[in-house]
Amino acid sequence: MESRCWLVALPATDGRLYVYRVYAPDDALPADLFWDAWHCHDEGPHPRAYDLFDAAEIHLLS
């Protein structure tokens, strides 16, 4: 199955929105996309992102 590029935007405690590219198939679950981006953010030097699924914005790049 071919992977596609998804953009996942996570709001953080500093008021910014951090956007991550996640590569996954078309039928990927939104929760899996969210957690991939959140874990990537959590390992970085940025302020803490909210771990609220409903606060994330997820878009498939065409």
Note whether 10 and 17 are within 8 A (CB). Answer: yes
Stretches where the chain sits below pLDDT 70 are 1, 62
| Predicted local distance difference test score (pLDDT) of residue 20 | 94
| Predicted local distance difference test score (pLDDT) of residue 9 | 96
Q: Which residue has 């996640």 as its token pair?
A: 22
Give the CA count within 13 Å in the CB-facing half-sphere of 38.
Answer: 17
| Predicted local distance difference test score (pLDDT) of residue 1 | 66
Q: What is the domain partition of the chain in residue ranges?
A: 4-60
| Predicted local distance difference test score (pLDDT) of residue 48 | 86
Which residues are bridge partners to 7 per DSSP? 21, 59
